[in-house]
Amino acid sequence: MARAKRKPRPAPTDAQLAEQATTAHHEQLAEHPAEFGTAQPAAHESGQPQDIGPRSRAEAVGKRSGYSPAGIIDKLAGARLREHQNPYLSVIKFEEKPSDDVRQMLTDANFHWSQPNREWVRLIRYESAWQDRASAEDAFRDICKAIRHERGVTHGFGGPA
């Protein structure tokens, strides 16, 4: 007796895949709520809910969405270089306002001041992305070296000042 061939199952639609993923995520949340940062806050003695920590992964690591976690930090100079991904920008942020000489170095390296974010930004163009990134890193190292020199620090990130 010959078996009848079964028809192949149709491929699931995007909506069905999304529903399956959502269902699986909700099941995991129900089993282990604390792992996903969605645990209910514990009540304090006063009856008010207590804040138990970050609600998202971005909040947990202290990063704004859209920023690359990779970056260069010079703690002695009080500066950080990161890359913003939408739009692609090299971003330098300082702990305190840099001197006039450092601001002139930033301007000479094609950085400009972004008032809303309070940081120095430089566009990374598609055609020359690697060159733009490399020149931003070089400028960052030179700027940090100048800041350390102003502060009288003779060592630190990037070698002797």
Q: Let me know if residue 35 belongs to a domain.
A: no
Q: Let me know if residue 77 belongs to a domain.
A: yes
User: Which amino acid is it at 23?
Assistant: T
pLDDT value of residue 80: 93
Q: At what angle do helices 129-151 and 100-108 cross, to 10 degrees?
A: 170
pLDDT at 98 over 90: yes
Give backbone dihedrals phi and psi of 147, rounded to 5 degrees, phi first. -65, -45
User: What's the pTM?
Assistant: 0.56
pLDDT value of residue 148: 92
Ranges 6-20, 41-55, 56-70, 84-98, most confident: 84-98
Q: Let me know if residue 135 belongs to a domain.
A: yes
Q: Let me know if residue 41 belongs to a domain.
A: no
pLDDT value of residue 8: 75
Task: Extract the tokens encoding 12.
Answer: 């699931």
pLDDT at 91 over 50: yes
Per-residue pLDDT of 61-86, as tens digits, reads 555 544 556 688 888 899 999 998 88
pLDDT at 4 over 60: yes
Q: Give the number of domains in the chain.
A: 1
Spatial distance between the Cα atoms of 121 and 107, rounded to a whole number of angstroms? 10
pLDDT value of residue 75: 86
How buried is residue 144: exposed, middle or buried, by Cβ count under 10 Å (0-12/13-18/19+)? buried
Q: How many CB atoms lie within 10 A of CB 91?
A: 20
User: Which amino acid is it at 18?
Assistant: A
Task: Give the mean pLDDT of 40-69.
Answer: 51
Host domain of residue 88: 66-151
Q: Let me know if residue 103 belongs to a domain.
A: yes
Q: Let me know if residue 96 belongs to a domain.
A: yes
Task: Give the mean pLDDT of 11-40.
Answer: 56
Q: Let me know if residue 19 belongs to a domain.
A: no
Per-residue pLDDT of 103-158, as tens digits, reads 999 999 999 999 998 999 999 999 999 999 999 999 999 999 999 999 998 766 54
